[in-house]
A and B are shown apart, each in its own frame.
Chain A
Amino acid sequence: MKNSRLIGFLPWLVVGLLALFPLVESTFYMQLLTKVLIMAIFAMSLDLLVGYTGLVSFGHAAYFGLAGYALALMAPKYETVSLWWSLPASIGVCALFALITGTLVLRTRGIYFIMVTLAFSQMLFFIFHDTKLGGGSDGIYIYAKPTMKLGEMELGSLEKLENFYWLVLLLTAGSYLLLRRILGSSFGRALLGIKVNEHRMRALGFPVFKYQLASFTLSGALAGLAGYMAAVQYGFVNPEILSWHQSGAVLMMVILGGMGTLYGSVIGAFAFVLLQEVLSNQAWFGIAAKHWQLAMGIFIMLVALYMPQGLAGLAQKFGRKPAEETSDE
């Protein structure tokens, strides 16, 4: 199968090309691409829940934002903090928060699950918005980027854009591979089974709740990775990163890209961030640029109506012949 080998090779080609991007030497586009990749990790983490476990969370920004705040609160104000412990610690905080909230929200299903996940993220939003804990509505600045030292040697300063970009690219590729691996394991198959037919999984003897909780925790941890990187990139955190707009945006990326494909989330993140950039460009759209969300909303509605498989479905249509499993014998 030449075709399938080509498809297997494609992600590496994309990563290779992206790795060469700093040669272009455009600060603006490198920052934009970094943002896209961070959102891709965030979207993949949500796809694990929505596309592979059948749980539609509308509060995923909570874990994204929490990691950013964890970094901001852990980092000394005018000194650098080491990536080696601040990243795992931030992810750990998110995983723990996901584990705790998960035990509660996973008692609900469907629309109630959506509402309860939203409620938890809103609680977190108001904790940071209305108390002095995280600087209130103004948020906190992170003055210095974390350092990556091996002994005394600095592996590469994250103050340099391309270093940060490469790190994020590495983490995006790593997250993708990790999730692929996990989803291909018995654990991943059980998650898919739960998504397709939760009742039967239970009847077959699977402790469904434990599997869902593991998935929810992993998803929260990965969202934390993305949130940490976003906080490093912007150099500050404020309650906006925890808001339901953010949860909605990442959900739209997953839907836009195509649920349950993983690479669809990456495509969705690209499409969403780039589209946002284009639609809000005042030079091109003038007064309409201010209302880019309107155009984005219409676009997403059209995708949902006419491409239920998302952009990934479109790619599959052209990339592969239709399945032939119905005509064996």
Chain B
Amino acid sequence: MNEPILRTKALTKRFGGLVAVSEVSLDLFVGEVHVVIGPNGAGKSTLTNLLSGDLPPTSGEVIFEGRNIAGCTSDHISRLGIGRSYQKTNIFLPFTVFENCRLAAQSRTPHALSVFRPAEGYAEINRLAEEAMAAAGLTHRAGRIAATLSHGEQRQLEIAMCLATQPRLLLLDEPLAGMGPHESQRMVELIKGLTADHAIMLIEHDMDAVFALAHRLTVMVNGEVLESGTPEEVRSSPAVQLAYLGGEELLHE
């Protein structure tokens, strides 16, 4: 196997006495979807926040492309090439779909921008924004105000903005949350299409989507990794069956 693009070593986050993430070590590879599952409060979102820089870890390392990024700010980590989407839709509601993506793409250009040149005058940024919209299937919505989109489309926009920043690693926090079956299917296809040239860490509850997408599966309980491996390995793990999935109905279809 080739080198992981991101590797965590004994990553830990404490909130006072509570250990939200405990000694988590995992590897993410380009071309793979690594799904993290676990019950509510297992520390999945906290783990994402540690990787994206939204929260600083208490201890442990996050090695991205050979450098330790633990404790870096989120804007720094984003510029290094890690993009994330949020569980709760986190977009610019009053702006158009295009402007949401354009702004995201703008973050990739050097910061010494001319303050006198109109924002729309950068062909490269516009192209990136349009490509991101196309990839997320939102081109026909370019001129719409983000607040007027359906919930599913807002989730797509969330991904499109992420893509416009040209990340090599995507952290997707429950992209299917609150979506209908049709929208979910579209999102699964979208994520599948991104797999080839991205490393993806996906947090998801929807088991159909999990098994449709996962190359690797990590199960977290109470902040700890209970089991990690291929979907088959995890399915057949007695610990997982007992502690988390428990219900036979989820594993034996």
Question: A residues within 8 A CB of B143?
Answer: 325, 328
Asked whether B90 lies within 8 Å of A199 as measured between CB atoms, the reply is yes
Q: Report Cα–Cα, A190/B111, bound state, in Å.
A: 11
Asked whether B145 lies within 8 Å of A186 as measured between CB atoms, the reply is no
Q: Report Cα–Cα, A188/B115, bound state, in Å.
A: 8
Question: B residues within 8 A CB of A325?
Answer: 96, 143-145, 148
Is B161 positioned at the interface, with any CB of A under 8 Å from its CB? yes
Is B79 positioned at the interface, with any CB of A under 8 Å from its CB? yes
**Partner pick for B115 among A185, A193, A326, A328, CB 8 A cutoff:** A185
A/B pair count, beta carbons within 8 Å: 93
Is A100 positioned at the interface, with any CB of B under 8 Å from its CB? no
Asked whether B103 lies within 8 Å of A190 as measured between CB atoms, the reply is yes
**CB proximity of B170 to chain A, nearest CB, Å:** 12
**CB proximity of A286 to chain B, nearest CB, Å:** 47
Question: B residues within 8 A CB of A197?
Answer: 90-93
Given contacts A193-B103, A203-B90, A328-B144, whether A188 and B119 have CB atoms under 8 Å apart is yes
Asked whether A196 lies within 8 Å of B92 as measured between CB atoms, the reply is yes
Q: Kindly supply a per-residue 1/0 record for chain A positions 183-195, scoring 1 wherever the CB is within 8 Å of any chain B CB and 0 otherwise.
A: 0111111101100
Q: Report Cα–Cα, A200/B86, bound state, in Å.
A: 9
Is B68 positioned at the interface, with any CB of A under 8 Å from its CB? no
Q: Report Cα–Cα, A200/B104, bound state, in Å.
A: 10
Asked whether A206 lies within 8 Å of B148 as measured between CB atoms, the reply is no
Asked whether A204 lies within 8 Å of B115 as measured between CB atoms, the reply is no
Asked whether A204 lies within 8 Å of B54 as measured between CB atoms, the reply is no
Given contacts A190-B106, A210-B111, whether A200 and B78 have CB atoms under 8 Å apart is no
Question: B residues within 8 A CB of A187?
Answer: 113, 115
**CB proximity of A8 to chain B, nearest CB, Å:** 15
Is A127 positioned at the interface, with any CB of B under 8 Å from its CB? no
Interface centre among B95, B99, B115 (most CB of A within 10 A): B115
Interface residue ranges of B94-129 to A (CB < 8 Å): 94-96, 99, 102-104, 106-109, 111, 113-119, 122, 125
Count of chain B residues near A, Cβ 8 A: 41
Asked whether A185 lies within 8 Å of B104 as measured between CB atoms, the reply is no
**CB proximity of A33 to chain B, nearest CB, Å:** 30
Question: B residues within 8 A CB of A326?
Answer: 145, 148
Asked whether B119 lies within 8 Å of A182 as measured between CB atoms, the reply is no
Asked whether B95 lies within 8 Å of A203 as measured between CB atoms, the reply is no
Q: Report Cα–Cα, A192/B106, bound state, in Å.
A: 13
**CB proximity of B4 to chain A, nearest CB, Å:** 22
Can you name the residue of chain B whose Cβ is closest to the Cβ of A325?
Answer: B145
Asked whether B116 lies within 8 Å of A202 as measured between CB atoms, the reply is no
Question: A residues within 8 A CB of B228?
Answer: none
Is B165 positioned at the interface, with any CB of A under 8 Å from its CB? yes
**CB proximity of A10 to chain B, nearest CB, Å:** 21
Asked whether B103 lies within 8 Å of A205 as measured between CB atoms, the reply is no
Interface residue ranges of A257-292 to B (CB < 8 Å): none
**Partner pick for B79 among A200, A201, A205, A210, CB 8 A cutoff:** A205
Asked whether B113 lies within 8 Å of A185 as measured between CB atoms, the reply is yes
Given contacts A190-B106, A328-B143, whether A185 and B119 have CB atoms under 8 Å apart is yes
**CB proximity of B206 to chain A, nearest CB, Å:** 24
Question: B residues within 8 A CB of A328?
Answer: 143-144
**Partner pick for A200 among B90, B111, B117, B118, CB 8 A cutoff:** B90
Asked whether B118 lies within 8 Å of A185 as measured between CB atoms, the reply is yes
Question: A residues within 8 A CB of B114?
Answer: 185
Can you name the residue of chain A whose Cβ is closest to the Cβ of B106?
Answer: A186
Can you name the residue of chain A whose Cβ is closest to the Cβ of B116?
Answer: A181
Asked whether B84 lies within 8 Å of A203 as measured between CB atoms, the reply is yes
Q: Report Cα–Cα, A245/B68, bound state, in Å.
A: 50
Given contacts A184-B118, A189-B119, whether A202 and B95 have CB atoms under 8 Å apart is no
**CB proximity of B90 to chain A, nearest CB, Å:** 5
Can you name the residue of chain A whose Cβ is closest to the Cβ of B158?
Answer: A200
Is A319 positioned at the interface, with any CB of B under 8 Å from its CB? no
Can you name the residue of chain B whose Cβ is closest to the Cβ of A323?
Answer: B145
Question: B residues within 8 A CB of A181?
Answer: 115-116
**Partner pick for B99 among A185, A189, A199, A207, CB 8 A cutoff:** A189
Known: A197-B92, A201-B75, A201-B103. 17 other contacts (CB 8 A): A181-B116, A187-B113, A188-B119, A193-B92, A196-B93, A197-B91, A199-B90, A200-B161, A202-B75, A203-B54, A203-B78, A204-B75, A204-B103, A204-B107, A204-B161, A207-B111, A325-B148
Q: Could you tell me which A residues sit within 8 Å of B by CB distance? A: 181-182, 184-190, 192-193, 196-197, 199-208, 210, 325-326, 328
9 chain-A/chain-B pairs, Cβ below 8 angstroms: A181-B116, A186-B109, A186-B113, A189-B119, A196-B92, A197-B93, A201-B75, A203-B86, A205-B165
